[in-house]
Amino acid sequence: MSATRPPRPRPDPTAPHVKKATDLREHLTQWVPDLARNPDKLSLFIEKGRVASKVGASLSYRYHYALQILVTDFAEPIDVLTVPLLAWIATNQPDLLQNPDTKEQVFRFEAEVLDNDKADISITLELSERVIVSATDAGYSCTHVGEPPLPDLTGPTPWQIYLKGELIAEGR
């Protein structure tokens, strides 16, 4: 009895290998002036990567990894780096800000002060990334998907109460 090999996955050749790392690089080089002028000061490394999956109808999985962000010769206050990073996290890894276990340590950082106006800054950020695997005629398709949007918590949510199909009350 011979086993047949499953068809090879055919990911989108233009898709990044790990989407969140690529997206974060683009975000920081857009919003941090020093990195916009000098993108070579920014290096990203993936450490302690693992894959989580379970038996089910598809081969979909989740990457979990520590993203090491290294900014060299940074000549601005660290706040200039922290605020855009937190804005990116709020959209792309919001559980870090919502979870009581992680919100007190959203990320870790170290800095080596080089002189009075420059430092090398290392930031470690724990990320996860979902990958949806779909069967295609040619094999498999892998799609990296973002996080579900956060609910709008800026004010009251509209509500309605129905009784036997008739609207009896609503609020805004």
For the ranges 76-80, 118-122, 142-146, the lowest mean pLDDT is seen at 142-146
What average pLDDT does the structure give for the chain? 82
Say if residues 22 and 33 touch (Cβ distance below 8 Å): no
Q: Distance between terminal CA atoms of the chain? A: 66
Asked if the structure places residue 27 within a domain, the reply is: yes
Structure-model confidence comparison of residues 18 and 169, the more confident one? 18
**Residue 56 is encoded by which pair of tokens?**
């089910």
Determine the structural domain holding residue 51 and report its residue range.
19-148
Asked if the structure places residue 47 within a domain, the reply is: yes
Q: How many Å is the maximal CA-CA distance in the chain? A: 73
Residues 6+ apart with CB under 8 A from 35: 28, 29, 41, 42, 71
Most confident of 6-10, 102-106, 140-144, 167-171: 140-144
Q: Count CB neighbours of 157 within 10 A.
A: 10
Asked if the structure places residue 31 within a domain, the reply is: yes
Say if residues 97 and 76 touch (Cβ distance below 8 Å): no
- Least Cα distance to 89 among 120, 63, 123, 62 occurs for 123
Asked if the structure places residue 70 within a domain, the reply is: yes
The number of domains in the chain is 1
Asked if the structure places residue 127 within a domain, the reply is: yes
Structure-model confidence comparison of residues 156 and 39, the more confident one? 39
pLDDT surpassing 70 at residue 10: no
Asked if the structure places residue 91 within a domain, the reply is: yes
pLDDT surpassing 70 at residue 21: yes
Q: What is the pLDDT of residue 12?
A: 47
Asked if the structure places residue 5 within a domain, the reply is: no
